[in-house]
Structure 1
Amino acid sequence: MTVRPAPACVVAAVARRDFIRLAGATAAGFFALGATPDRMRIVASITVLPLDDELTKRNMSESSTSRLGALIAGLRQRGWVEGVNYRFEVRSSFGGPDKMRTAVQELVDLKPDVILTGSTVETAAVMAATTTIPIVFATSNDPVGNGFVQSLAHPGGNVTGFTSGAPEMGGKWLQLIKEAVPDIQRIGVLFNPASTPRAGRYYLDSLEQEAATSDVKVDLAPIGTAAEIDGAIARFAEPPRAAMISLVDSFLVVNRQAIVATTAKYRVPMIYPFHYFMDAGGLMSYGPTLEVRSADYVDLILRGTKAGDLPVQSPRKYELLINRTVASALGLKIPYTLLARADEIRE
C-alpha cells in the first residue's frame, strides 16, 4: 500500500449536489419568511468526555478550531445567536452505562430541535431513545454498517452527519509507523472492543493485509478499563522490536493522557488517529483534518430540512503530524522522506 496525499475532496458527487440543492432551497425559503424564528430553538449535544476535561473545555470555547466553538460561531454566521433565538444544552455521558442513559434521557426530555453526537457509542444510545428528534453525528466511521443510515447519499430516518475515516486507515497507520521505526517485527493494536467500530474489525482487515506484505506480526491489545493501559503497552517494550497503533476509539480519547504517558514510560512508539493525542505529547498522528461542518446541517435542520434528506459527508483532507522531540526521546531518527510529507512538525 502506498500512502499518497489525500484528495482535496472525498465527498461523493451525488451527496454534494444534494447538499447544494437542499441548502439553496432551504435558505431561500428562510429568507423569504424573514430572519426571526417563531420560538426559541434548542440545540443539544452529548459528549463522552467529562465536562471538566481539557478537550471539552476547549471545545466549549468559541474558537473556530474546536468542534462546539466552531458550531456556535457557524450558527451565528447563519443568524442563530445563543440566548436570543436558540439555547445550547450539553450533557456528558462519562461514567458508565447508567450515566450514558441518564444523559441521553435528559436531552430527549428537553425535546430539542436537533441533537449533536460526538461518537459512535453516543449516536447509538441517542438513536435508541428517539426516532423523531433529528440527530447529527459529528464523527462516525461506519454509519451504514452501524445501522445509523440506509446509505451515505440517502440516509433516511432522523439521522445524518459526517464520517471520520475509512477502513483503509488501518493499513496506512501501519505503513507510516513502519517508516518511522523500520526495524519493527510486530505491531500492537490498542483498542476497546466496546467502543471502536465493529469491535476493531473495521480497521483490522486492512491493517492485517498490510502487515502480511510487510512481514510484521499483528498483536492485538484489547482493553476495557483504564487500569489495563499500563499492562497492554508494557509488553511491547520487550523484544522483538515493536510499535503500536491506536485505533479510532472514544475510550482511548478519554484516556489519551494516560496512554501517551505510558508510551513514554516504556519507550514504545505509537501512531494515533487524532491530533488530540499529539496535544498530549504523542509521537505521530494521521487522520482527518479538523473540519467542523456540523453548523451547515444544524442550520438546515433548524430551518425545516429533514435530517434523513441530508447526505452523510466524508473527510475532505487528511493530515500527518509528527513530534520530532518525542521521536528523539524514543531514540528515533525520523526519515526526511517522512518529515517532508508531514503537514505539521512539532518540536
Structure 2
Amino acid sequence: MTERPAPASVVPAVARRDFVLLAGATAVGFLSLGATPDRMRIVGSLTALPLDDELTRRSLTEAATTRLGGLIAGLRQRGWVEGVNYHFELRSTFGGPDKLTAAVQELIDLRPDVILTGSTVETAAVLAATRSVPIVFATSNDPVGNGFVQSLAHPGGNVTGFTSSTPEMGGKWLQLIKEAVPDIARVGVLYNPATTPRAGRYYLDSLEQEAAASGVEVVLAPIGEATEIEGAISRFSEPPKAAMISLVDSFLVVNRQAIIAATAKYRIPMIYPFHYFIEAGGLMSYGPTLEVRSADYVDLILRGTKAGDLPVQSPRKYELLINRTVAKALGLTIPLTLLARADEIRE
C-alpha cells in the first residue's frame, strides 16, 4: 500500500474511573504477585468485529462472561494492571484484507510483548508478519492443519493457544438439527470459504458422513459477501423440507444479525456453533462453553515463558442452547428428549 490508513481506535481495557481506584490499591500488590515493574509491557489484541459491535463493547465491560473482559480481569488477578505495568492495545480487522493487514502492522509497530488473536484468519495474518512476537490464539479450529503449531503438545515457534472445536462437530450439528426437525430431507451449510477452517472441509467430511447415514442431502451454501446472505438462505424455504447449519466462521459471527433476520423471514431452522447467535435470536447452538483461559498463557509469556513451550489446550465442555420461543415462531415442537439434554432453554 502506498498510503498508511489512520490508526484504528484504541479501546481502553479498564475504564479510567476504575483505573484511578485500582492503581493505588494494586501498585504494591502486583509486585507481590511477581509482576516486574522494570518496564511497561504491551499486550496487543485483534478482533474481527467492528469496535462498535455489541459483542466488542460487552467484551470490554462484562469481565466475567466475555473473552477480552475475562483476559483483563485474569491479568489483574495475576498482578498486571492496565496503565500501571502494561498497556492493552485493541485493533479491529473488520473491513477486508487491507484493514486486516493494517491492523496487524499497527500492533507489530508497537513492539508488543504478546498478541492475542481471535480467529484463524487473524492468527495466519500475524504469523505472516512476524515469527518473533509471541502469539496466543484465543480460538483456532485446526492449528496443526493450518501450520500454526508443530503439534498440540509441543507447538514450537512463537504461537500457542486454545482450540474451539473438532472436525466431528459437523456430524454432531446435523444430528441435533435433525432431532429438532425430524422430517428434513436436506440440510444447507452456510459458510464463507475464505474465513472458515480449510474452506469448510474441516467440518464437511463428518457432516457428509452423518448425512449419508441418515438419508439427508447436503447442499452447500458458500457466500463471500454480506449481500449474499438472504439469497443463500431463501433457497431453503422451498420443498423439499430443509434446515441449515452455520459453520464456525468469523464472517458469519460479524453478520449474525442479517443471518438471524433471514432465517426468521424464510422460516428456516438453523443450528449455530456459538451462543452469540442465540443471543441474537437464533434457534439453537452447540459449541464449546466459553472458558476464558488466555490470561494464564499471556501472564506466563509476560514473565518470560516461550509461547512454543506451552501446549495448545482443547475445550473441556460443550453446551447445547435452545430458544423455545424461536422454535414456536418457526412452527416447531422441540422433542422433550432434546430439551432434556439442553444446557439452557431460553423462552
Normalization by structure 1: what TM-score? Answer: 0.90
| CA contact 1:136–1:298 (8 Å) conserved in 2 | yes
The CA deviation string for residues 105-132 of structure 1, in whole angstroms up to 9 with x for no partner, is 0000000000000000000000001100
Match of 1:87 in 2: 87
Aligned length: 318
Shift of 1:31: 8.1
Does residue 108 of structure 1 match 2:108? yes
| CA contact 1:62–1:72 (8 Å) conserved in 2 | no
What is the distance in 1 between the residues matched to 2:277 and 2:303?
36
Does residue 264 of structure 1 match 2:274? no
Match of 2:97 in 1: 97
The CA deviation string for residues 24-72 of structure 1, in whole angstroms up to 9 with x for no partner, is xxxxxx9899543311100000111000000011111142101000000
Runs of 4+ in structure 1 off by over 2 angstroms are 30-37
| CA contact 2:189–2:245 (8 Å) conserved in 1 | yes
Q: Which has the higher contact order (CA 8 A, sep 6+)?
A: 1
Match of 1:74 in 2: 74
1:194 alignment partner AA: A
What is the distance in 1 between the residues matched to 2:219 and 2:163?
27
2:278 alignment partner AA: M
Q: Residues 276-287 of structure 1 correspond to what in structure 2 (within 5 A)?
A: 276-287=276-287
Percent of residue pairs bearing the same amino acid type = 85
Match of 2:5 in 1: none
Does residue 198 of structure 1 match 2:175? no
Match of 1:22 in 2: none
Does residue 48 of structure 1 match 2:48? yes
1:115 alignment partner AA: I
What is the distance in 1 between the residues matched to 2:228 and 2:77?
45
2:46 alignment partner AA: I
Does residue 185 of structure 1 match 2:218? no
Q: Residues 170-319 of structure 1 correspond to what in structure 2 (within 5 A)?
A: 170-319=170-319
Match of 1:135 in 2: 135
For structure 1, the 5+ residue unaligned runs are 1-29
1:78 alignment partner AA: R
Match of 2:58 in 1: 58
The CA deviation string for residues 257-304 of structure 1, in whole angstroms up to 9 with x for no partner, is 000110000000000000000010000000000001000000000000
1:108 alignment partner AA: I
What is the distance in 2 between the residues matched to 1:68 and 1:161?
14
Normalization by structure 2: what TM-score? Answer: 0.90
For structure 2, the 5+ residue unaligned runs are 1-29
Evaluate the alpha carbon distance shift between residue 62 and residue 332 of structure 1 in structure 2; reply closer, same or farther with a 3 A threshold: closer
| CA contact 1:62–1:73 (8 Å) conserved in 2 | no
